[in-house]
Structure 1
């Protein structure tokens, strides 16, 4: 099993880098090209970097994979947000679920009615997140800690979430020593 994961995980990550995932909402998007940055995209489309960060909170603005769809304007107001993953060669539903924080295989089946895990078509889109903006304040997502993550950095990824709220939601986590791979509870508003 370890040999399989040593082969599949790098292949899957490479798939993400070469064309990974897209966003769909009632918004305009642009596809990231080699050497694109949030600053360059913001300048080209007359928006601010802060707006790009807000509209693309699941992306790391310092490392945007080529092929990623970046929201460049919100367009009309929408109560829903949909995040999709573009299927790459060798992708499985299990691997896709593992890449997105808080997404389970069961959730993928719920969001993608009738999906056949044995016949995922390369280039097809799998819905990985479907959120309503009318949350009750009791909803949470889980963030998997990556190397170099801090509570400040994690809070900046999730719109409207403060470091203090993350600390309160994770009383047994030392904010000065985050374990890579551990899950941090992120309270949504």
Structure 2
């Protein structure tokens, strides 16, 4: 990640007439180089998380193409880090949406989006792909995976938490391939 570019978007005259004050007309992008990851890119920007980058870009987090322009959302405008949404693109299916987000299944998408019709996804609409609050409530907290973390190491940091507790609370996580920047549920009881 060597090249960061600022793009200026011309403001619409209508917005200026009606006082669109405080709206940022800048968005930053990063050109992906060999070895770049969303986590590594997020580390270079204050207030930007891996989840923010996944949400703002259509690329599979496990296979970001070299040369791709990654949009960097303004860290201050990131709404709620406990909820990740996906904007429906042409050709999206629940199956390929779930495949983009580590640990998310089609069943999760149905549970988080009651009444969703998988045969009639509306381009431009948003669906919830991860909602950390709804699943676990106040009896849990979250650990963001850092380079080198293992379930054993994470469990040792929290009093009374075992590897078995982590496996039970994170059934969709592969304990042998933790994704840097992902959030692991830590049960408090």
Q: TM-score, normalised by structure 2?
A: 0.44
Structure of larger gyration radius: 2
TM-score norm. by structure 1 comes to: 0.44
